[in-house]
Structures are given as structure tokens and as C-alpha cells.
A = this chain, B = another copy of it.
Amino acid sequence: MKKKLKMAVIGGGSSYTPELIEGFINRYDEMPVEQVYLVDIEEGREKLEIVGALAKRMVEKAGVPIEVILTFDRREAIKDADFVITQLRVGLLEARGRDEHIPLRYNAIGQETTGAGGFAKAMRTIPVILDICKDIEELSPDAMLLNFTNPAGIITETVLKHTNVKSIGLCNLPIGIRMQMAKLCDTDLDNVFIEMIGINHLNWTTKIVVDGIDVTKEVLSKASEAKGLTMKNIPDFGWDKEFLQALGALPCSYHRYFYMKDEMLAEQLESVKTKGTRAEVVKRVEEELFELYKDPNLAIKPPQLQERGGAYYSEAALNLVSSIYNNKGDIQTVNVQNNGIIPCLPDDVSVEVNCVIDSQGAHPIQLSTEITPQIRGLLQVVKAYEELTVQAGVTGDYDTAVQALTINPLVGSVNLAKSILDDVLAENKKYLPQFN
């Protein structure tokens, strides 16, 4: 009989937790989780207690022998864990709000994971993830770290470059695109295979196969008019038809910040006036969710969570855990070290590509589609930005941070980079020990 699993969920007080718990319950037979440690920091005590109580009610109602443990002692959670799942948010939604506001002051895109906003989030998260990895190296060196925390590509690259922890980064975007393709082609998810080239939040779907048939061209010609091909948090601007054809690939939702920079900026500037930034919207949603969670009669994941924006996170995470645990050898799109699978990027960076997942981890599959210059150029410059961001986040070097922001196409000039950076540093001071 195979070993039962201990899971450590860092950021356990997240509103997403019920989705994870639901997944553990539903998959108990294929993947017997014995213990789930929900860890959070003291500031998040209230949320952890609410969501933890719900989790316990869910498990009890389902009648599965999963033990849910709430703790503020990260080391206790990590010790001998089989998997460590990070879904933390350093600085809470307040910090996200600042990430969105600061760039907008300077007429630059303010977004949680791309551009200067994502940079700020990376700066706050890197010291914490490195700390977590030190604990894992000491207390559970064989554990697999599954990182959800955004910017997931940058955080995964940090772990791969600067620690000895085994880690895979994951995001709900790839599975979301497969689901959109299934819907667009009116078929089931299982019939849809996609090939992606790229990095987290900047990947191009270069091939779509449905029922064994390559339908990429047809999908590209449909996609420019289709609605709903975007993440919840990104305006659903359609793509220019000829542009898509010449691109030869389906961009992801986040590409709108690059390919439609002016329109997206205009939308953000307008939107911030009427409904606040995305952080403010999400905060209201979260408050409502936690109100629901408090209900002692609630013992299932409430359907409203679906609206939160992070759909399929749990699905993505548990697919991964199960394929590793069960040595499945199926294909999932995750964030791993490049090692030549995208030949135009350095070997040591993180990329988001199709991988065979088995007990030994994630094994990238050779791309079968060409990386055209139009894809390559943007991919390379954003990856170079990410490499500098990792370096700035680890060293706390101001000048490296300026270099990073300067070559990010959503910032793009030295003085603008410095202005934004100065605000970021000033307003996140307590979360940036490496810069002090």
C-alpha cells in the first residue's frame, strides 16, 4: 500500500482553500491525503480560522479521514510534508492595490503580475519564498514545492536558481485556455490538446488539436470574434483577425497588456475612477466570500467562489499532485527549468510548457511548432526582465531593479522606471528587507 500524504498549504487562509479541500475530498481514493496543514501568519489569523473551520466541516460532511490542522508555525507544517503548496499573498490585497495604483500614476499599466505591478509583487514575495525554501531544505528535503504564488514564473525561477528545493510552478491559465478551446470547438476538455510556447502569463498557444486533428487555423479564424477567451480579471477585448493569423498562435489573456497597451491603459485609467482597481473589486468579492464561509451550516465549497477569478487552480494543483503520486505519465502545462526546451531562452530560466508528469517530476516535451520571430522577440525581452527581477529580488540591488523595469515593455524607459521604483520601495518598505 502506498504511503499516505501530508500536505502543507502556505497561505492556508486564502479564499481559494475550500477549492483545494474539495479536491482533496473528491480525489481521496486516488490520492489519500492524511493531513492538511493550513499555515498562515498572525495577521491572517481571522481568515485562517474562518476558512479552516469551513474546511473541517467539509471534510467531516464528506466522511473522509483527512485531518485538517490550522497552524501559525510554518516549520511544523513543512516538516516531513510530501507536498508544500504556496498560495500566499505578501501584504494582502492592500499591497496589490498599491501595485495597481503606482504605475497608473505615471501612465503605465498597473497590473498584479505583469509590468511594474508584478515586479513589486515579486519583490515582496521573493524573500518569503526563500525563507520557506530554507525550511523545506532543512525539514523536508524531498518534498515537492508547488508554487501558485504570482508572479508564478518569477517565483519558480527564484526557487530553481537559488535553492535546492524540488519545485514546479503552476497557474490556472493553461487549463483555462484548454477549457476555452473545448468550449469554442464544442467538445469535451479531454479531447483537446494544446501546445504552448512561453512563460507564465505570456504564453502563446501555437497548436490546438481536437480529437487528434490539428484545428489551429480554424480556431485562429474563429478566435478573433469569440467572446469569453479571457481570464476573469482582464477586459475581454477581441483580437484583430489579421493580427492573429499572422501571429500564427493564440495569445493569452495577459498579452493584451502588450499588444493593446494603449487601450488597456485607457481602460485602467477609466476603470480606476469608477470601480477602483482590480484589487478593490477582489477585496469586495473576498469579503462576501468570507461572510459566506462563516456560516456554520456551510459544509461545501460555495458556488460563488467560482466567480472569484481563480477557477481551476485547485484542479490544476491536484492534477499535478495526483500524477506525481500515481506516476501517471500524463501531460500538463507547468512551469519548470528550461534546459533547452525553448532554445531561444537561457537554460536556467523558468518556462511554461507541456510536460510529462510522473513520479520523477515534470519532463518537458519537445515543441512541435516553430518559434517565429514575432513570438521570440517579445518572449525574450520579457524573460530578460524576469531574470533581472529575480536578481533584484534576491540581492535587493536598486540598480538591477532599474535595469529590470527599463527593459520591461510596459515601462520601457529609465526615468519612468526610477520614478515607479522609488514609489514601490517607499510604499512596500516593511515587506522588502532585502532593500534595506
Contact = CB atoms under 8 A, between A and B. Distances in A.
Interface of A: 193, 209, 211-214, 240, 242-243, 245-247, 258-263, 327, 329-331, 339-341, 343-344, 346, 356, 358-361, 363-366, 368, 373-374, 376-378, 380-385, 387-388, 391, 397-400, 402-404, 406-407, 409, 412-416, 418
Given A329-B330, A329-B331, A407-B378, A388 B413 contact: no
B380 A262 contact: no
A402 to B, nearest CB: 6
Given A261-B413, A364-B365, A377-B385, A212 B327 contact: yes
29 contacts: A193-B358, A212-B359, A214-B360, A240-B418, A243-B402, A245-B399, A246-B397, A246-B399, A258-B413, A262-B416, A263-B413, A329-B331, A331-B356, A340-B366, A341-B366, A344-B380, A363-B366, A366-B366, A373-B391, A374-B404, A377-B384, A377-B388, A377-B407, A378-B381, A380-B381, A381-B381, A381-B409, A409-B409, A409-B412
B407 A242 contact: no
A13 to B, nearest CB: 33
> In the assembly, how many copies of this chain are there?
4
A412 B258 contact: yes
A366 B364 contact: yes
A416 B341 CA distance: 33
A243 B406 contact: yes
A385 B378 CA distance: 10
